[in-house]
Structure 1
Amino acid sequence: MTVYYTKEHEWVRVEGDEATVGITDFAQGQLGDVVFVEVPDAGRAVSKGGEAAVVESVKAASDVYAPVSGTIVTGNQALVDQPDLVNTDPEGEGWFFKLTLSDNHELGDLMDAAQYKAFCDSQ
């Protein structure tokens, strides 16, 4: 299992050809208390960098982008009922969606944990 990160503060955990996507702890900290989440439906095709989900907090609304292209396997319905999971466990139970990768080569454009930490430290 490998975890990658984007400059938009999404994480993607890859196991085989399936990827789980969420927002980072840094991102949820910037958003504040999350009050609403909209997750994508299974079967929807998403493109790298395209809008895939929505997260709203007391501060702002924001899109969650697909870090890689693929087909949605499932959206995390638990977030619809408990959007605060994004705050309490953003890189665990607070995941947004799972997808089947359509191009593994896109992973090469993402950051590893050390690169992401350096990126956040430079903000």
Structure 2
Amino acid sequence: MGTEKAEKIKLDDLDLDDLQALKSRIDTQIHTLKEQKREEFMKRMEEEAEKAGIPFDEIINPKKSKAVLGKASDKRSNVKPKYRDANGNEWTGRGHAPAWVLAYVGVESLDKKNPSHQKKLDELLIEKGS
């Protein structure tokens, strides 16, 4: 598909500046042609979706359409941090304790049921009494 034309270009006659300018023009043309193909494809997809009675947005953004339909979303709710150290490190108190919490409590594994662990952990509470 057009390789004969490419073979006829005499690259030996071009210096480095000419070759770089040609490469830049080629890169620009490749980008333009790819963008045209993408736009043509998207238009065909929109037409096919319309024929099938499917909103095109549901095809392009299936997660968004599921959320609109009331199905579970992949987004997790943000949980406010419960603990903070003097360096500004924060932890919600959920999941495994981060290294800075373990170092502060002075243990390798945190046991919230252990009174001495809990006492040290309470010192890091953002809102005392929570």
Q: More helix per residue: 1 or 2?
A: 2
TM bin (shorter chain): under 0.3
**Higher radius of gyration, 1 or 2:** 2
Higher relative contact order, structure no. (Cα contacts within 8 Å, ≥ 6 residues apart) = 1
Q: TM-score, normalised by structure 1?
A: 0.25
